[in-house]
Amino acid sequence: MSDMTFPLPDVGEGLTEAEIVTWQVAPGDTVALNQVICEIETAKSLVELPSPFTGVVTELLAEVGETVPVGQPIMRVRPEGAVDQDPAAGDAPAAAAAPPATAPAEPAESAESAEPAAPASAAGAADDEGGAVLVGYGAAGKVRSRRRSGGEPLLSAPPIPVAAASPVIAKPPIRKLAKDLGVDLAQVAGTGIGGEILRDDVVRHGSQASLFRNISTPEVPAVREERIPLKGMRKQIAKAMVTSAFEAPHVGVFVDVDATRTMEFVKRLKASTDFAGIKVSPLLIFAKAMLWAIRRNPEINSTFTETEIIRHHFVNLGIAAATPRGLIVPNIKEAQELSLRELAQAIEQLTITAREGRTQPEEMQRGTITLTNIGVFGMDFGTPILNPGEVAIMAMGTIKEKPWVVDGHVRPRMVTTVGGSFDHRVVDGDVISRFVADVASVLEEPALLLD
């Protein structure tokens, strides 16, 4: 039986190519149906590819770091039970295995075993209980042991073997984080499923509070220059930013805000039993303020095309997230329907998924408006570039104690700067100003959210 090839599938809408990040198998390894064989980096996310075959890996057709177009074979697998035959031997093996003439005839195949098999190239990557399904392959249900009329066995799915225990189970972004922080993963106890090491495990072990601060200053590299190929997510980010910056006429509006009551509100939420175990931060109030302001200024929540302006009456709220692989903007679908508690949970899950490198392409599509929190980097403010297609992106700077005039007296207050960039083709200055003022008013007085 000849080997089967596994072509790179389209794991997202319109994917044309992807980079091989890691191989989880090697030639000679036995792979089971749905077993993760490699990780690929698309223009938007890191994706694990499950095997649609059961058998022995005979060849890997792409190197780590190689960019492969969709449809190009990346692995060959020999089905379980297949043997190499000497062409000169003809049908000798089959004849040798034939039963004696006196042996009872083999029972006729059942209707189930006689049904035609799906082509190997269209084999599903999931069983009836679910699992990863590759776009373009589909779910083929449980794989049954079948035989052709000539007795040749088809691909079968025996019990999935238990993988050998690995001393370190961690995804590439977690390994990079550990390297950046100088953490030996072999010394880290993983708290994820099956002992997988998560980001918080690495940070906790390294006594490091932030991904963006190094424990020590690295030495200057010995090489004078470093050339980094423009590909994957960085290539996509570069293309999107150029398109947005030069096609959409950006206008920026910002204002200083007394966020003292927001900080007090956050403190009360943290102490509330309703928010026990949920991360609460000023970003939550900022997001809720945006949703409230959108209701009052619906023009802000729009998409511009060359033929029309699409005004959305739902909010897919994008949140810019800095990850080890670059900036991504996953969004919370139907955010306008969420309570404050539900919104807090959604933001927390989105953040965890992004920093662990598990954000999928679907989670970054169909956004309607974006927020970015540059305050986490200690920045007072910046001028963000619009997410392509959207007409507004809001930014919040750091919140810190500053002198502020209250009732004619200078007092210390918790002050921040909020504002953003807007597409002037869609929204005029008065709408932009009202929207920013509405967001600022909620940060000054969160009780407005009860309206």
Q: Which residues are catalytic?
A: 424
Cα distances (Å, whole numbers) of residue 7 to 1, 62, 75: 19, 11, 7
Provide the b/e sequence for 379-418 (b: ≥16 CB within 10 Å).
eebbebbbbbbbbbbbbbbbbeeeebeeeeeeeebbbbbb
Element (H, E) at 105: none
Strands 331-332, 317-319: pairing kind: antiparallel
Tally of residues, the chain: 451
Question: Cα 114 to the chain's mean position, in Å?
Answer: 42
CA–CA dist 424, 253 (Å, integer):
12
Q: With contact defined as beta carbons under 8 Å apart, do 356 and 8 qualify?
A: no
Distance of CA 43 to the CA centre of its chain: 11
CA atoms lying within 13 Å on the CB side of residue 216: 7
- Angle 109-115-118 from CA coordinates, rounded to 5°: 135
Strand, coil or helix: what is 178?
Answer: helix
Tokens of 47: 């994706």
Q: Alpha carbon of 288 to those of 169, 256, 450: distances in Å? A: 37, 18, 11
Query: To the nearest 5 percent, what fractions of the chain are helix, strand and coil?
Result: 30, 25, 45
d(CA 385, CA 397) in angstroms, rounded, equals: 15
Residues sharing a CB contact under 8 Å with residue 116, sequence separation 6 or more, in sequence order: none
